Every structure is written in C-alpha cells, then in structure tokens.
Structure 1
Amino acid sequence: MHFRKLDGTNFVHTVAQQAADLGVAVALVWFIFKLVSIVDFKLKKWAASTDNAIDDVLAPLAGRTMRVFIVIIGGILIIQNLTGVKFGALLASLGIGGIAVALATKDSIANFFGTLTILFDKPFQLGERILIDNYDGVVEDVGFRSTRIRTLTGHLVTIPNGKAVSSGVENIGKRPHIRWLTNITITYDTPPDKVEKAVSIIKEILDNHEGMHPDFPPRVYFNGFNDWSLNITVFAWYHPAVYWD
C-alpha cells in the first residue's frame, strides 16, 4: 500500500525525510550548545585568574548570551523544518515590522560584539576614569548591553557597548601624567626685572612641588602682551595622574 499526498509525493517518504532533517537539526543545535558550554566554562576559569573586575562580570554574560543565541537560532531552524515557513521571506512580507526587527537585531548584535571587545581588549576597568562620546566620568558598571559611567557632574550615563567601542574610548585613568597649562597675567606697568623675578619664583615653586614628573620639568616663561596685561605661561606635568592628590 502506498500513501501519496494530493500532489503525488510519497507521504511516508516525506515524513521520514522531515524526521531525519529534524533529527540532524536537533543534534547540531545540541552539539553547538554543549560546545558553547565548554567555551563558557573556559571563559569563567580565565576570568577568575585575572585581576580585572570586568572579566568577572562579562565572562558569565558572554556565555549566557551565546547559549541564548544558539537556542533562538536552533528553534527557528527546527520550526522552519517542521512547518516549511521561511522566516526570511516572512520578515520581508512584514514590511516596516520586518525592518524594525532587523534593526533591533542589528543593534543587539553590535552591542554583543562590543561587549566581547570590552571583555578581551580591556580598554578600561571598573573604577577607571574614561571619556566616551564626550562623556567624561568613572566606570561604575559594565553589562551585556551597555556601560554606565558617573560623570564628573554626578550624572549617571548609560552608553551602549557597540557605540562605546565604535566611537572610541579615551582611558584617562591609564595616562602616565597630567599636563597642567595655565596663564598668569600681570599689569602692564610691571618692570622687566620684576617680570623675570616672577617667572623665577613660579618656576622655583613648581620645581620644589611634590608630584612633578621627573622627566618633564616645569616650563615657565613670559610669552606675550594681552590687551590689558602681560602674560606668563606655565606648563607642568603632574605625576601620578590623579587630580585629587
């Protein structure tokens, strides 16, 4: 006895083929899932061996995120195999809704890879002062999707990890010294000898000041005439690079 569908195809053969395809899909998803679990274990072990607090936060997040992606993609493949529905064509038929889903997925993927970049490249650590996209502050938290920094004015700013990586990170906390530049003005009726004495006094104060960088001695000199005053320029390099010392 032969079971045939209305289109003439063998029903038993079709079911067997679908079952075989389904079995292969499930086995493949399970294999990749277990492989990701091994990678997750290695990541956690590696994070525990480092001194970077961000590693302890992001390593488990990266592992969980990879597993979620595998489950979602595997589920889509299995449903597609069972129903024959092509999700790509379905999203395309949704028009604007499909575009919105695609854009949301794009942002999520960008943030995920941004998180991996932060995890492996270590552009900054918790507690360091950084500058991202004109936001200057101290890193308080790094999550799967975003990084939070406390600005010098006290505001808490949340920046997507994808944007943080693509826009560039200036790690102020890792600079070797602070360059301090200021101008000191004196009245026009100041005699030249007193101008020279003022320059000498300022340089002596800085030379004897604690924290001056040994490789970059202070520079103090008269450099010009302002509209209403004479101008003395002062350069100093402070070490270590901590503003509050």
Structure 2
Amino acid sequence: MYNFNQSSFAIIGYDSLEEPFTNIGTAFFINAKGNFITAGHTFKNQNRIYFAVLNEKRYPIEIIYNEYEFMENQKAPYHKDLIIGLVIGVTGNSYYSLADKNGVKKSEIMAIGFSRTQYGEVCSQLDSPNGISTDCNDGNSQITDGIGTKSPDLGLIRFSKLEANYNRAGLDRIYIIAPREVLINGFRFDLEIDGLDPAGLSGGPILENGNVIGMLISKDAAISSTYIMECLSTNDIQFTKN
C-alpha cells in the first residue's frame, strides 16, 4: 500500500497500452481508504483500460458504483453521471470533505482537474482540509507506473484550476440532445473565462472554501455534493461531511 498527498488525480483510458492514453478525466478522493468520485462519462467506453495517475505512477481502478446514462437517455428527476470507485493499492491518501449545503448565487468557487492542456492558473499547491494537496505535474517526467512499466505519455498531463461563480440550483438542457426537464441533483456555474470548455476536468471537484460542493460534468454544470453523499451512504462508503 502507498500513501499519497494528492486529493485529486487524473483518470486515463487506453485503447492499447502500447499507445498514448486516449482519453482523460479527473477524480477526487472522499476518504483515506482510496475511494474516489468521478464522472460516469469518463468511463463510457467499456472497451478501454483505465488507470488512476498518482504521484507520477499509474494504478488500477475498481468500479464500485456506476450511475451513467447517455445524454439522450437522461430522465428527471436525476442526472445520472456518477461513479464511485477505488484506487487499488492506495491508503492513507489525503481527501476532500463534502459540503452539506448548496452554493449561493454569485459565490466564488473553483474547478480543478487534469487535461492535456493547462487552463487558467499555473500548477500550484492546493490547500485541502487535511493537509497540502500537491496535485501537480511539471509535464517533463519519465513516469514509472504502479504496475511496473515506463509510461512517458503521462508527462502530457497538465493540472489546472479555474475560478468560477455559482449560478443556480438545478440542471436542464445540458446539451442540445438532453431532456428539457429540470434535474434536481445538480447546479449551474459560470467560469470566469467565457467560452472555455475545459476537456479533461470532468469528474473533478468544485470547491468552495476548500470543501467540495459538486463534481464537474460539463463546462457549466455539476452534480451536487448533497447528491453524492446520498449515493455514498447508499453504498456504505465512508466520507466526511462539512
């Protein structure tokens, strides 16, 4: 078992382990036992092989709970795009607390995550409720993974943090093919960089005062932390509420 000070990390998927990763998303720990939250659509291609990237190493993943529907199949009252998982071989990691409240209109929040492109501010240390979360990669490392192979393609991963403002509770018409009904388990936000679609940050935490208030699923929509806590409780997964 390994200990980590990263509270969030990249999820990467391969069509072939002999080629660079095909897709990338973000996940975050919700306890010190290696359990994490991410977006269901990060794993929508079931033929791919997925790994977590932590401290410049690649680790296998176990899916505990998968709640995902394609956009055209979404139905009220809940938007289904949530995965609860476990990073194999990880314990004692830092993690985020989940806020037991909704945001307030125009309140300042932050989206963080990993992608092939660095958005917003440069890589830096992030304060988390239980310590310092480094969440950084300089992009130049020759990375050795947790299953014993060199993976230089992981040096392509970039960390980003984006400032935003809470908009309103409820989700409707996230994409043109999505239903018009209001979905009650999420909220809208506005990135301070207009028009930005931060590919790769899906599944990452949205923070207010260091606590998670939601999980990013699109450039302006998130699943709420209160709904995430309901799913964790149903699956008997430990988490910290704040």
TM over 0.5: no
TM-score by length of 1: 0.19
Q: Which one has the largest radius of gyration?
A: 1
TM-score by length of 2: 0.20
**More strand by proportion, 1 or 2?**
2
Q: Which has the higher contact order (CA 8 A, sep 6+)?
A: 2
